[in-house]
Amino acid sequence: MDKYNKFQINNFDDMEWDVIRKGVQRKVFSGRDATVAYNHGARGHEVKPHSHVYEQYAIILEGEGIFSIGGQDYPVKKGSWMVIPSNVEHYLTVTSDEPCVSLDVFTPRRLEIMAEEKSC
């Protein structure tokens, strides 16, 4: 049985941050069919419009920002959630003084970031 097709338990507080680019870091884990990313974005972070083949579910846990999806801008804050279809360009710009923290779920699992996982 591979490590993605079994019970897993951990705590984000016990995981190291992966620095993605200036002002953006994350902690990730994957199961058999999905990848979860716990993200931390600071005001003034490097904005990176992107798209991918994965469907993405995003929940804002702290902070505020502008989420740009498919050329439309949407203000987001704690409690906001989004469903981002695959292959649609999107990005977040942090507007609050405090960091914007989000939890993202990607399906299917993101093979290209599974190698970054430090703990499962």
Domain boundaries, the chain: 12-114
Query: Cα–Cα distance between 99 and 4 in angstroms, integer?
Result: 30
Q: Model confidence at 111, in pLDDT bands (50, 70, 90)?
A: confident
Question: In which element (H, E) is residue 111 found?
Answer: helix 111-114
Query: Cα–Cα distance between 102 and 39 in angstroms, integer?
Result: 5
pTM score > 0.85 for this model?
yes
**12-114 has which CATH code?**
2.60.120.10
pLDDT digits (tens, 9 = 90+) for 27-65: 999 999 999 999 999 999 999 999 999 999 999 999 999
